[in-house]
Amino acid sequence: MSGTADMIYLYDASFEGFLTCVYDCVYNREMPVDIICADDAQPSMFLQKNIETDNEKAARVYESIPRKICGEAAELVRAVFLSCAAQKEMLILRFLLLGYRRGAQAMYLLSNPDVAPMYSAERHLKNEVHLLLGFVRFSDYGEVLAAVIHPKNFVLPYMQTHFVKRFMCENFIIYDEVHKAALVYYNAHSEIISLDALTLPPLLEDEKEYRAMWAAFYKTIAITARENPRCRMTHCPKRYWQDMLEVRPELDKTPKLDDGNNVISAKTGYELSLLAMENTAKL
């Protein structure tokens, strides 16, 4: 590497586009000051160089990672690229350049400033995946189950296998409103697609009932004397609450259901909590 070039690489935000940037950096022997998505580019004192995505170059770079470093390095690179780490492109580039020099040993340089942030970003991504596997709440819209999430990292690729195995007999969609993407599973085929917006149909009456019962069940089993808001937010961070039916603000009021004869209040309806418990498998 001849040194830092006074230029910024612009790319299309795809993984293949980023790997093309790595290819040009290595083979042109120039180190950009930054690599950013072309759509996010701002006027700068540095020269801005647009890097066109080349799938052949990208494939060569990705195939070189397990060969020159190790297979775990390739997985780490992909995970960090899907993370929300600041300047993740430069983090990965510096890590790869170190790995090309040091080989598999680079994976164990945990205090190295070019390695430590990689593991930190991967850990943040996978922790969020772990939480969301439990926090996703589906609603039944008749022909499909649907859920909306607002993650910091792009987690859908890591959630795909879990939910396909869990709901292989259903059709479902998980919409990531932050990254404008959706995991769609239909007729035994799953795919992650770009989606600018998702407009859901009106809720079915049965679904409204199940939502109310689930919220009632959640409140009924709580032990008031042991409530600990701080501990609760440690295990269930507040930023996830907007997508969780049982704690969403609009469901905070005590739900009431008409059983055909009279109105049952969840505050005193022990039978309602039992009914909710029997039906939680649907959610």
Domain chopping of the chain, boundaries: 7-126, 136-194, 205-282
Nearest alpha carbon to residue 214 among 156, 272, 153, 170: 272
pLDDT at 276: 41
Lowest-confidence segment of 29-33, 65-69, 128-132, 254-258 by average pLDDT = 254-258
Question: Residue 178: pLDDT above 90?
Answer: yes
CB 99 within 8 A of CB 67: no
pLDDT at 250: 43
Residue 142 pLDDT class (50, 70, 90 cuts): confident
Lowest-confidence segment of 60-64, 113-117, 146-150, 202-206 by average pLDDT = 202-206
Average pLDDT over residues 143-169: 95
Question: Residues for the chain: how many in total?
Answer: 283
Question: Residue 268: pLDDT above 50?
Answer: no
- 172 vs 163: CA distance, rounded Å: 9
Average pLDDT over residues 169-178: 95
> pTM score, two decimals?
0.81
Nearest alpha carbon to residue 184 among 152, 131, 147, 153: 147
For the record, the structure tokens of 254 come out as: 């005590």
- 235 vs 220: CA distance, rounded Å: 20
Question: Residue 37: pLDDT above 50?
Answer: yes
Average pLDDT over residues 52-75: 97
Residue 200 pLDDT class (50, 70, 90 cuts): confident
Average pLDDT over residues 186-196: 93
Lowest-confidence segment of 33-42, 47-56, 65-74 by average pLDDT = 33-42
Q: Could you tell me which residues come within 8 angstroms of residue 147 by beta carbon, excluding any fewer than 6 positions away? A: 136, 137, 138, 139, 172, 173, 174, 175, 243
Computed over every residue of the chain, the mean pLDDT equals 86
Average pLDDT over residues 77-100: 97
CB 183 within 8 A of CB 192: yes
110-125 pLDDT, tens digit each: 999 999 999 999 999 9
Burial degree of 95 (CB within 10 A; 0-12, 13-18, 19+): buried
Question: Residue 45: pLDDT above 90?
Answer: no
Question: Residue 266: pLDDT above 80?
Answer: no
